[in-house]
């Protein structure tokens, strides 16, 4: 089989890239090792930047998002029992939309299949070869039969644990990584959110985040040890700790049945370059950010938006300028987002060790500055709602 662009990974990055290429007349095939049901039910990020919302809308896959997504014009930052509101709309003219990643995947999958797109789920033994030649090939097995997919370009949208990043030789690849000494215990609860906007809370017991997935389902997080066992966190303890960390005058935390729990370790990760020969990395295959800034999905969208335009321009005009500058252009945004996510994490989490008391005083100073400085609040707001995609 032959195509113009072979896309490894059928999550939001791979599906959106395939759709954007289709809109510009470029053929692609998407290969995904998981089942369609698994990908569409996988709980991940739920905060979309203004640029992501606009792109999905312009690409014709934003109708349900516009109908069911929750638009937030601000966010709350809390230190102990003191709370500051950051008014996004007032400070930047933009907002965020809360809409689950799995819903984005459902919308994209439905659209790609309706358009006749080739999306193959449950493929095995995926391997890329010849990416430094004019005829790269993706080897894979589907329904027990081995296949070869020849393409002009290969897009690695297969996540942090995928195979595409390792196709770039180690001697031309540089990896930057920071592993944080804590993780997030995340829950989904069958209860309406206790706030109309997200609350980031820095408490002496540790970080907490009140978020939501819909008008009836709450999504919340607690800072825990990175290898924490869920057995140590029965529902009663979770609600008690959330109530403590999110506690503030006049605030009541609504409680209900918890139907999902998981612990996620936190890291910052960047692999450079994002291009080697005819292979391009996009999304989590190239970079990971701590979830504090809600940037993972949005950064992937930025990557594939630029990649789709670069590849389409190559076929349209013969120019290789876009594909030649893809890595450097993406990395400029990647490192801006890495800094913001690190900054948000540093401001809101409890750190231990000999400098813990000093760190907490710095955090208090930063919190107070947010409350009295429009410039500081605007910086947070501008980065949170997202810089322009290009």
Distance, CA of 177 to chain centre? 17
Distance, CA of 241 to chain centre? 26
Reported in sequence order, the residue ranges of 88-173 that DSSP labels E, i.e. its strands, are: 96-98, 118-120, 123-129, 137-142, 145-156
DSSP one-letter code for 92: H
Q: Residue 324's pLDDT is what? A: 98
Distance, CA of 297 to chain centre? 3
Q: What is the tens place of the pLDDT at every residue in 71-97?
A: 999 999 999 999 999 999 999 999 999
Distance, CA of 31 to CA of 22 (rounded, Å): 16
Complete domains list, the chain, with CATH: 2-72+95-177+267-345 (3.50.50.60), 180-266+353-385 (3.30.9.10)
Distance, CA of 346 to CA of 351 (rounded, Å): 8
Distance, CA of 235 to CA of 212 (rounded, Å): 18
Percent above pLDDT 90 for the chain: 94
Exposure string for 53-80, b = 16+ CB within 10 A, e = fewer = bbbbeebebbeebeeebbebbbbbbbbe
- Strands 28-31, 118-120: pairing is parallel
List the beta bridge partners of residue 219.
Answer: 188, 211
Torsion angle in degrees (nearest 10) through CA of 183, 367, 80, 92: -80
Distance, CA of 209 to chain centre? 16
Q: Residue 113's pLDDT is what? A: 93
Stretches in the chain below the pLDDT threshold 50: none
List the beta bridge partners of residue 6.
Answer: 29, 154
Q: Residue 43's pLDDT is what? A: 65
316: its two tokens: 């349209």
163: its two tokens: 């195979």
Distance, CA of 83 to CA of 210 (rounded, Å): 13
Distance, CA of 12 to CA of 157 (rounded, Å): 9
Phi and psi angles of residue 181, each rounded to the nearest 5 degrees, phi first: -85, 30
Q: Residue 41's pLDDT is what? A: 76
**Residues with active-site annotation:** 72, 200, 291, 295, 384
Q: pTM surpassing 0.85? A: yes
CA separation, residue 348 to residues 78, 204, 279, 343 (Å): 8, 10, 37, 9
Distance, CA of 387 to CA of 192 (rounded, Å): 31
235: its two tokens: 């529902």
């Amino acid at each position: 089989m032959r195509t113009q662009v072979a896309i490894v990974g059928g999550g939001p990055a791979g599906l959106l890239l395939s759709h954007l290429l289709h809109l510009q007349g470029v053929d692609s095939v998407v290969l995904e090792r998981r089942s369609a049901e698994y990908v569409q039910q996988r709980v991940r990020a739920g905060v979309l930047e203004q640029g992501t919302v606009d792109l999905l809308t312009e690409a014709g896959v934003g109708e349900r998002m516009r109908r069911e997504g929750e638009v937030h014009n601000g966010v709350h930052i809390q230190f102990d029992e003191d709370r500051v509101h950051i008014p996004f709309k007032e400070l930047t003219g933009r907002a965020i939309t809360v809409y689950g990643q799995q819903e984005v995947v459902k919308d994209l999958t439905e659209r790609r299949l309706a358009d006749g797109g080739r999306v193959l789920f449950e493929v095995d033994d995926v391997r890329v070869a010849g990416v430094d030649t004019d005829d790269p090939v993706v080897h894979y097995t589907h329904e027990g039969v081995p296949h070869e997919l020849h393409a002009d370009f290969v897009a690695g949208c297969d996540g942090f644990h995928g195979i595409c990043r390792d196709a770039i030789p180690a001697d031309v690849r540089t990896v930057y990584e920071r592993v944080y000494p804590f993780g997030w215990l995340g829950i989904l609860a069958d209860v309406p959110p206790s706030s109309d906007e997200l609350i980031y809370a820095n408490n002496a017991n540790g970080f907490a985040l009140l978020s939501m997935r819909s008008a009836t389902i709450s999504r919340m997080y607690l800072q825990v040890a990175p290898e924490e066992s869920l057995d140590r966190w029965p529902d009663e303890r979770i609600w008690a700790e959330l109530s403590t960390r999110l506690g503030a005058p006049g605030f009541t935390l609504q409680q209900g049945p918890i139907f999902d729990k998981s612990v996620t370790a936190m890291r910052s990760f960047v692999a450079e370059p994002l291009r080697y020969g005819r292979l391009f990395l996009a999304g989590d295959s190239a970079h990971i950010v701590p979830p504090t800034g809600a940037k993972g999905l949005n950064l992937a969208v930025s990557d594939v938006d630029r990649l789709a335009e670069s590849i389409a321009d190559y076929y349209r005009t013969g120019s290789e300028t876009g594909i030649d500058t893809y890595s450097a252009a993406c990395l400029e945004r990647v490192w801006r987002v890495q800094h913001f996510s690190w900054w948000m994490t540093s401001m809101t989490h409890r750190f231990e060790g000999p400098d813990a008391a000093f760190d907490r005083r710095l955090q208090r100073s930063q919190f107070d500055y947010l409350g009295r400085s429009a410039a500081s609040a605007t910086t947070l707001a501008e980065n949170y709602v997202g810089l322009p995609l290009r």
